[in-house]
Chain A
């Protein structure tokens, strides 16, 4: 865009390269063309601009010397060889660090695997109240047996009976009914009351 202070020559020269390249809009190009046709200095500038562009485009593209290309090929071969050697000749410290790291990774993997395989808490097959009731019934049955034995003239020591028969049976019963429950929970509740 033309600035207010610009002379027509400045405006034309400002746009000259774009004009030469055909990058101006039609209206702007026509204005520049009109100025160039009436201004010798600016027309000479256009001729110089065209000469510069023409000569630049006449500069040839150049091939790299064959010795350079051969050196590039050799350099690539050397780099490939060095890369292979580096893989096998890594410093001992690097390899040691790699080994420790690998061991840590494997160890962590095994530990995690064991965690995953740890027994899960199954829901109890029977609740604590049912276990306690069953235990009481068993004790009652055993006490009844004891009484029958006494009547029959046999003498059984209650404490021995409770300790060696009633309590282990109650424990076993509780364990089999509920693997998640503590085995001694049901055994202690009625130990004294069993004595008749």
Chain B
């Protein structure tokens, strides 16, 4: 039982942790949520089949993150405080010169900050689709919304991110 559970943790931990991390913008809280979600999985594992586990985990993770965010509205932490931030920057930075690298890192930091400010379900949909690569129908299953709603909110969410970045950079960031 526990060995099967451990295998499920290994298989799905990245999806759960990644979602929580980008949704909350906080490593420590994302770790808490990851633990909480997998212990819930442990309690419910006899009822779940293997196929449904990933969708179930993401639904529970999203709900837990939503609750957590609602509880800590007043004490907003900055994403830049995140200790893993610099590691993330290094992985995705591909520009050659130091100035270009700094500019790209700055763009990503603002993008993450804007993502953190998005409201649900736009935020969940943008994370699940653009960062985690889920298909529209999978997202619809996780969030319990119609397929077309996923599409509409994805476009709306990205448009909002674009507007936020435009306020900071104008059109320069894209060039």
Contact = CB atoms under 8 A, between A and B. Distances in A.
Given A17-B158, A69-B13, A73-B6, A51 B39 contact: no
A10 B164 CA distance: 17
Nearest to A79: B42
Q: Is the interface of B mostly helix, strand, loop or mixed?
A: helix
Interface stretch (A59-67, A107-115, A117-125, A130-138): A59-67
A57 B173 contact: no
Given A47-B171, A48-B174, A76-B39, A61 B132 contact: yes
Interface stretch (B14-22, B52-60, B69-77): B14-22
B131 A59 contact: yes
Q: Is the interface of A mostly helix, strand, loop or mixed?
A: helix
A104 interface: no
Q: How big is the B interface, by class? A: 35 or more
A17 B155 contact: yes
Contacts of B13: 63-64, 69
B43 A59 contact: no
Interface residues of A, number: 37
Contacts of A71: 35
Interface in A63-113: 63-65, 68-69, 71-73, 75-77, 79-80
Interface of A: 13, 16-18, 21, 23, 41, 44-45, 47-53, 55-65, 68-69, 71-73, 75-77, 79-80
